[in-house]
Structure 1
Amino acid sequence: MAEKKPNSVPRRIHEVRRTDTPSGVTHVRAHQPDRFTVVGNHLAQHPMLSLTAIGLAAHILSLPEGAPVDIRSLAERFPEGRDRIAFALRELETHGYLRRVRERTESGRIATRTYAHHLPVHVPAVPGPAAAPRARRPVSRPSRDAQTPPQEEDRGAGRAEPAPTGMTAVPSATPAPEAPVVAVSPPPSPARADQPDPPPAEATPHPRDDRAVALLAGLRRCDDRLTLSRRDVYRLAPAVTAWFDVGATAATVIHTLTAGLPTALESPAALIAYRLRNQIPLPLPEPTVLPARPATAPHPMRNCDGCDRGFRAPEPGRCRDCRAAPATMYAA
């Protein structure tokens, strides 16, 4: 018998392929004669863009001309929410792959046109507080008649002009008067674009609107999308108070403002203002008051002369039943 070798070749595992290349991606390429999009490596391998922004840019580059690429259309197409899509669009704008410009159409409406750049364009950086542009001080210049040509100024600097032939140069005792310079105060420095506008002064609500303010501030308990700012609450409070003045209850106002909300709610304050303005009910009619009957004293109790039954009557006599009976029943 042959001797068994301890270093025999192990059995091959058919499920695992043997390779000499390191681990990583292996491209399986195929020829695509049509329906393909060329995307540069500067976008697909961008070191600062998020994966959502890179994928969204590739999708936008693959769309035909005129396809809608607004936030609402992209949110209906992809499972990502509106916030992630809006953040990705801002990334592409920051790095020069996207540019959104508001333009006026022939009908007079304002539309947003989106320009998708296959190559990134240079985006000028917004200057910070240290690099803010310095306002130039305007200087008033003399009129054209009082100015001398620049060639003559350069030629006469540092040396005297020779006198013409036949004439004697007379030195001037006083220098030629210069053109007056008007001092102009510098204009106020323009506000930088990176600074937000100052917040408007918030009006103090009227004490009569306290109930309306509490109702509007609590709408977010019914739907998170109905979260209103302090300014919107104070602005809409008088309209809710008008509903209370016509007899509407708090439950009626809440049902009117929260029922049948649209799926895409962009401006909750505008929707609430529209419903408060157009769906206010009529005031309740005043209740009809019936005239009060005059108070009369009841008749005294009497005993019937025929059956000796008690009844009320203004005068003694017979009761109603005895009066309706034949007179022969009571004959002696």
Structure 2
Amino acid sequence: MTNPGYGKRSAPYERPRTENDFGHLLPRDASIAAFIDRLPEGSDISVKTLAKALPYGQCAVRTSLNRLQDAGHLRRGSECVATEEVLLWVTRTFFSRTARDDAWWAAFARGDVPKEQQRPTRSRAFILLASLGRAAPTLTLSSADCVNLEPQVSEWFERGATEAELLHALTAGLPTPVHHAASLVRRRLRDKLPPERVAPAHRTVLRTLECSECQAPGRPEALLGGRCAPCRGAARDTHFGPPGAVQAPEVRARVNSVRAAVVPRSERTFR
């Protein structure tokens, strides 16, 4: 593990893990990606550390990490973290099990990545109700009971309740025996419904991405594939300022034309 605040950070809104998440990659790259994917948050995934844990040398690991970056699974950068005393910029490596394009990573750096709409076969509420019998066998529900109680459980989730809080509310202190599981669950869902929780204020994300080769920070839109234009071999952009801004050579030309049109003071005539 790295020092607190550094190391691996998983990208948000990952799709569920499958056996073929990295099937589009070369075997070595897929092996390293799968290894990183299963590491906990904050793990040290530097080239040297990975080479010690994997059967590959540092050069091979570095090449694979660059290819993972090209494929949209990895970006390197820094992020501003607030402590009780100061604001710290920490170096982080962002990893996504799901391959993302450059536009997605640019939105991620700005902090405005939209949550992807998932289409599960069953809702989160239905799944919890269907598995309730595992935690408390006397509360085993039928499929019809799960459908009828699903809106009440969804309301708990909308108010910020977790699965653990719901299970505790439904299974703690059960009477013996339970004559009608569905009625008892419906009553507890109604009587123990928590109050609405105030959503925390949106915090401005302070995050930058940097070139994987020269480590120079840059605009996410300019780091195509995680590399800046010079490292990609592209011509350096000499334009500065907002779109349509007058560039330095044109400014000098305009100033020179103005100077040329000015009549010297010795030649001026006064009336």
Structure 2 length-normalised TM? 0.32
Name which one, 1 or 2, has greater alpha-carbon Rg. Answer: 1
- Higher RCO structure, 1 or 2 (CA under 8 Å, sep 6+): 2
